[in-house]
Amino acid sequence: MATTLLVLNGPNLNMLGTREPAVYGKDTLADVEAQCRAAAQAHGLELEFAQTNHEGQMIDWIHQARGRVAGIVINPAAWTHTSVALHDALAAAEVPTIEVHISNVHKREAFRHHSYVSLVAIGVIAGLGTHGYTLAIEHFAKLLK
Ligand code: DQA
């Protein structure tokens, strides 16, 4: 059976490429998906990629990942800093999770310094641009070898 990774993206990330390019760069979400698929393919991993602006949808996807995928790479976007529900969904799913942020949230406003997701993540990558997604996939590839 193929090993599957799930890459999840939270609110406003559908606007990548045009959204505050000085902060988030010029890559679109389609570019990020292509990078993720290339990284997964290089390691013989299946990849699912999704984005939503609806918190309940994100929580449903996380529940459905339980027992089904080997790892989650998530950019929870603004829900990082607000959502106990997202924390609880990831805790319930019991799937190893890597949290990714395109920007260095620790260099930004104080409200971005706290993450509910970090408490349930095996690791966090922030500030390396969209390359952070590739690095997270490569880390899972190494863990799954
Ligand atoms: C983000 C950082 C968050 O603070 C912000 O709300 C986002 C994107 C990032 O990728 O840098 O939407 O997760």
For position 92, what pLDDT does the model report?
98
65 C-alpha to ligand 1 centroid (Å)? 23
Burial (CB < 10 A; 0-12, 13-18, 19+), residue 119, is: exposed
Per the structure block, which two tokens stand in for 111? 């409200």
**Which of 105, 108, 116 has the most ligand 1 atoms within 8 A of CB, as the residue to mutate?**
105
| Digit-coded pLDDT (tens) for 23-76 | 999 999 999 999 999 999 999 999 999 999 999 999 999 999 999 999 999 999
Categorize the per-residue pLDDT at 139 as very low, low, confident or very high, splitting at 50, 70 and 90.
very high
For position 91, what pLDDT does the model report?
98
Strand partners, 6: 48, 72
| Digit-coded pLDDT (tens) for 97-120 | 999 999 999 999 999 999 999 999
Residue 1 reports pLDDT greater than 60: no
